[in-house]
């Protein structure tokens, strides 16, 4: 049985990605949650953004494996056995509101029920086992819903909130550009990891946390109060999740790099049977 250790231990960002596994060793496997899509508007595929694989391979130092997130093809038990950690990616479809006790409305947008059927129980299983995951955007929202929380369908419609959605026009560099600060809890997990109480991030989301789930700690917020950084209190493993997209420019961004570095260290610990890093305030 895996034991727990009392506090987080984060690697130096400069040390991650430099070591290469020898021929007798495999890289730890990170299951990248795939999204259903249509190639050429007609051919159905399960896809994952190249920047997710790049961040996992080059910064976390792990083997990226795109998962066809559909219970017709995979089970949660198989994924837990196959992978050492999971990247809960962003995606255009949203978590179905029935998963947090609300009725579907046009404001909730589109859905991917097959992904819901895999990721929500996967999150709960990882929390219980101490198996590491990193949640991004929709993945961040999945973690909150999996732990019993709720979501706002469109946060830009709330009084006093800014528009967090991706700009409709411009180059990909412009769409992923840094757009607002995130302030962390002084002395909290994200503050210690980043070495700063405030950082700049991109923003490409329409929904956001309404009510935090059980054991969900909101450890960072945007200037308008939107939750941006969370973890699961008391979880025996790595559960950091963010509302922005750190996979963009992960190797050189001073915020993205330590996040993926710490995730990679946690995945390696799990793969090698060491005690998982326990994150607490």
Q: Which residues are catalytic?
A: 137, 245, 247
User: Of 216, 42, 235, whose CA–CA distance to 132 is shortest?
Assistant: 235
CA distance 150 to 153: 10
What is d(CA 132, CA 7) in angstroms, rounded to the nearest whole number?
15
Q: Cα–Cα distances in Å, from 237 out to 10, 101, 138, 224? A: 13, 28, 20, 30
User: In angstroms, rounded to a whole number, what is the distance separating the alpha carbons of residues 242 and 26?
Assistant: 28
Closest residue by Cα to residue 55 from 92, 91, 21, 89: 89
> Which residue shows structure tokens 């992923």?
176
Residues near 65 by beta carbon (within 8 Å), at least 6 away in sequence = 29, 30, 31, 32, 82, 83
Beta bridge pairs of residue 200: 181
Spatial contact of 89 and 52, defined as CB atoms under 8 Å apart:
yes
Cα 168 to the chain's mean position, in Å? 23
What's the token pair of residue 42?
A: 């007609």
Q: How far is CA 156 from the centre of its chain?
A: 22
Direct distance between the N- and C-terminal alpha carbons of the chain, in angstroms, rounded to an integer: 24
């Amino acid at each position: 049985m895996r034991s727990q250790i009392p506090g987080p231990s984060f690697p130096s960002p400069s040390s991650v990605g430099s070591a290469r596994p020898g021929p007798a060793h495999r890289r730890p496997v990170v299951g990248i949650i795939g999204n259903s899509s249509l190639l050429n508007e007609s051919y159905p595929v399960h896809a994952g953004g190249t920047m997710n694989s790049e961040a996992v391979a080059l910064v976390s130092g792990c083997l990226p494996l795109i998962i066809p997130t559909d219970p017709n093809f995979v089970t949660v038990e198989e994924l837990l056995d196959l992978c050492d950690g999971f990247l809960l990616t962003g995606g255009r479809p949203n978590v179905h509101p029935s998963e947090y006790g609300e009725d579907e409305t046009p404001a909730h947008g589109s859905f991917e029920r097959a992904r819901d059927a895999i990721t929500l129980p996967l999150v709960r299983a990882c929390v219980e086992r101490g198996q590491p995951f990193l949640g991004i955007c929709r993945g961040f929202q999945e973690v909150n819903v999996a732990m019993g929380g709720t979501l706002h369908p469109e946060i830009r419609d709330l009084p006093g909130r800014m528009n967090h959605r991706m700009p409709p026009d411009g180059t990909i560099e412009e769409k992923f550009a840094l757009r607002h600060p995130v302030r962390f809890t002084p002395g909290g997990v994200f503050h210690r990891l980043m070495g700063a109480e405030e950082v700049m991030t991109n923003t490409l989301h329409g929904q956001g946390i309404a009510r935090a789930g059980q054991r969900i700690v909101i450890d960072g917020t945007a200037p308008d109060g939107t939750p941006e950084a969370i973890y699961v209190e008391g979880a025996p493993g790595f559960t950091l999740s963010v509302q922005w997209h750190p996979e963009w420019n992960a190797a050189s961004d001073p915020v993205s790099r330590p996040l993926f570095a710490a995730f990679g260290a946690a995945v390696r610990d799990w793969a090698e049977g060491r005690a998982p890093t326990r994150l607490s305030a």
